[in-house]
Structure 1
């Protein structure tokens, strides 16, 4: 077998030229949508109309007027958990992470399915992607669900993929949710999972033991990521807040993961990085970054935080970028590594 292609190690970024990492948000507006048109490219354009409840998504507690990442310091006034002792994101110091042989022995397993329809939503704060599963009736069975298991997760438990979140900066030296050795990356991609075996909905799983698990990938600029084209090729139609589009091109979330031989990771317990900032979230951060092109990143930077036909809030320019929360104190928590230093 040929050795894997050498990849940059996120934990070895030490110089000032390395991009700087930052916070991210989780959660998503649950919406009822109305079909407007079917385009030639085979996608359905929709408009978000209102909030609704769903067992598959986490809704952002959007009580702050305007772009909420400009007012991160105010979150604690409205959401008590935002000032808790196990908050995310954090600055990960690679040399302080504790190697845990059990993480290496208990393989982190991914069983993701190809999605024939994928919803792409601009919620005014970030971009959320929802890979659809055809057989909704099979939610409590392995078949038809995209799930993860193993690693730091409870033995014998599968967590179901609900959504994918993207967080990025205006410049390439910031944008990611977490930082590694105080350095950041231009974007962080988060795959949000919930324990659908133990809980009936994400809302129930939030803040509950073994409820939420998030896979996080830092990004590096380089060649185009062909798997992400399902998302980036459709961003033109979701430029404004509240716009959603259903892409009917095949999308497999596995395309976002590193090569199986390059799946070293760090793990710690934290929280959502957007209101309500619920804790008891299992974070799994991959050591090796995801590569995408500069032009693909620029497509994200074109998104806007206000609805079409309206103006940005006073004091804002309406550009969706720097949508991350400042890093939080690690405190007494321990970061574990699946690989020796």
Structure 2
């Protein structure tokens, strides 16, 4: 063990002991993705995070295209085309965008698998160091260079994100997988954030953004998958309806350039990926018909599109994910 890693372990031990011994503690500040404050210990150190260790509906997961179930009741997802103000922050664990509080600061999300109206609140960016996979969710055991996760809360039942995340039907989350492009004819989808990265290099750095719309990052497709899961950070609340656009199957991802990804990798924090969680026989649904299901149900094939999994850009195998407890 190096002097640096020994120092980090001792620092984490002191932080944990301090939190355990105090009446109140800001647990949000000390959890990490490595060592004794990393994912393998989230559910052991804070009594409010036991779901991280014991939950059966945890995220992220691997999406196996063969096991997707077509659900004809899934209609289109509706996201308001409006802009809000907010800020990017380097938390030391991730790069996070949060919408400002105030009147008119809401982008509505509804439809699809959602029974209620939801309001966009936070956006998390996940990536890894050079040469390593950077997405939390995987497809057919393949990882991607990066992933954006967009969270919203149930604004019909709950007054804010903090309360909603701890209660049924509390949250919705979009998982957007990211591919690399070097094409002169394909525009990057990361221009809106890449211009700010030089001001977000260190933990605690904040950049205010005067205008942002979700349609700047959402893939241009109405095809999606959905499953019931959790947040991928503590306390791993199992109140999340996940929606993943079929970008990884229909080759309609959002794109980032190698240069822009390198800018993300300059930000000072560790790899921010939680290990994959067991699917546990969860029903992963899609609004697009799957060929295997057409073959077994020929009478129900009218109007169903065909899913093909044929990535046109190299992705990284699952076993290359750099995870050690």
Partner of 1:209: 168
Structure 1, residues 189-221: CA drift from partner, whole Å, max 9, x if none? 011100112101111101311110001100010
Q: Distance in 1 between matches of 2:288 and 2:156?
A: 29
Query: Among 121, 129, 134, which residue is 1:170 paired with?
Result: 129
Please state which structure has a larger fraction of its residues in helix.
2
SS class of match (2:73): helix
Determine if the alignment matches structure 1 residue 285 to structure 2 residue 247.
Answer: no
Q: Distance in 1 between matches of 2:285 and 2:192?
A: 34
Q: How many angstroms does 1:240 deviate by?
A: 0.5
Q: Distance in 2 between matches of 1:274 and 1:150?
A: 26
Instruction: Mark the runs of 5 or more structure 2 residues left unpaired by the alignment.
Output: 1-25, 248-252, 291-325
Q: Does the aligned pair in 1 maintain the 2:181–2:188 contact within 8 Å?
A: no
Q: Distance in 1 between matches of 2:152 and 2:34?
A: 23
Query: Among 42, 47, 71, which residue is 1:75 paired with?
Result: 42
* 1:200/1:118 CA distance change after superposition, 3 Å: closer
- 1:89-238 superposed matches below 5 A: 89-103=60-74, 106-115=75-84, 117-132=85-100, 136-138=102-104, 145-154=106-115, 157-223=116-182, 228-238=190-200
Query: Among 223, 233, 257, which residue is 1:264 paired with?
Result: 223
Q: Max radius of gyration: which structure? A: 2
Determine if the alignment matches structure 1 residue 304 to structure 2 residue 252.
Answer: no
* 1:132/1:225 CA distance change after superposition, 3 Å: farther
* 1:191/1:291 CA distance change after superposition, 3 Å: same
Q: How many angstroms does 1:227 deviate by?
A: 5.1
SS class of match (1:329): coil
SS class of match (1:161): strand
SS class of match (2:42): helix
Q: How many angstroms does 1:175 deviate by?
A: 0.9
Q: Does the aligned pair in 2 maintain the 1:173–1:184 contact within 8 Å?
A: no
Cα RMSD between the aligned structures?
A: 1.9
When the two structures are aligned, how many residues end up with a matched partner? 251
Q: Distance in 1 between matches of 2:27 and 2:190?
A: 24
Q: How many angstroms does 1:80 deviate by?
A: 0.4
Q: Distance in 1 between matches of 2:179 and 2:63?
A: 18
Q: Distance in 2 between matches of 1:324 and 1:60?
A: 19
SS class of match (1:89): coil
Higher relative contact order (CA 8 A, sep 6+): 1
Q: How many angstroms does 1:112 deviate by?
A: 3.5
SS class of match (1:148): strand
Q: Distance in 2 between matches of 1:169 and 1:200?
A: 34
SS class of match (1:266): strand
The TM-score, its normalising length taken from structure 1, stands at 0.69
Partner of 2:212: 251
Q: Does the aligned pair in 2 maintain the 1:234–1:247 contact within 8 Å?
A: no
182-191 or 69-78, which moves further after superposition?
Answer: 69-78
Q: Does the aligned pair in 1 maintain the 2:226–2:286 contact within 8 Å?
A: yes
* 1:130/1:270 CA distance change after superposition, 3 Å: same
Structure 1, residues 42-93: CA drift from partner, whole Å, max 9, x if none? xxxxxxxxxxxxxxxxx973444xx434521111212201021110001111
Q: How many angstroms does 1:113 deviate by?
A: 1.4
Q: Distance in 2 between matches of 1:334 and 1:81?
A: 20
The TM-score, its normalising length taken from structure 2, stands at 0.73
